[in-house]
Every structure is written in structure tokens, then in C-alpha cells.
Amino acid sequence: MIRGETVYVSLLTTGEADRLGNPERTYAKPVAVDNVVVVPATANDQSVQRPDGITVTYTLHFPRGYSSALRGAKVTVRGDEFYVSGSPAPYTESNVRGAWTMPVEVGRHDG
């Protein structure tokens, strides 16, 4: 039987403008999300640079009904902090039998 685990999601918020007028990246307080399946990335996933310079470390499968927009979010998995790659979207609910309907690639910024 597949069992998910708890991860902590900090959604991206817009902060004050810096001295050049660009909004600073700030994050909301982390929120626990239960029943997320954590899958290590394959060699193919790790060899491709994703948007925002992220190298994928995990694919997280979020449970049915999770609806927050995750673009730019930070996710803490097993005590380590990762960033969401791209703008994840859920599968069409009627096409999925299981409990997990949204794959989310996360990784670290290198450089």
C-alpha cells in the first residue's frame, strides 16, 4: 500500500520593493500538507534544467483536493528545503482513480 508523508509548503508572496523597484521574494508561513507521496527523481529528471534554474530532486504527488497555486513556492521535504519547478497543475480528476492528482517537481537552485 502506498502511504504519503507530511511536507511543509511556503507559498510565494510579494514583498516590499527593493532599491531598484523590484518586489522582493517573501514566503508565507509554512503549512503542513499530509499524504504527499515523495518520489526520488530519475537520472533523466536530474539532467535537465527546469525553469528558474532548478535541478529536479523529487517529484511530489499531492493529494486529491489540494488547490493552492504552487508556482515559486518552497517545500520542506524530510527536513530539507526545495523550490517548486514551473507552475504545477492537477490532472483531470475524473481521469485519476487514486488519491494523488497533482505531480509537483521540486529541486534546489544551484548557483
pLDDT digits (tens, 9 = 90+) for 70-100: 999 999 999 999 999 999 999 998 899 889 9
- Chain segment 40-71, per-residue pLDDT in tens: 986 555 455 555 566 778 999 999 999 999 99
Q: What share of the chain is helix, strand, coil (3-state, %, to 5)?
A: 10, 50, 40
pLDDT-derived band at 23 (thresholds 50, 70, 90) equals confident
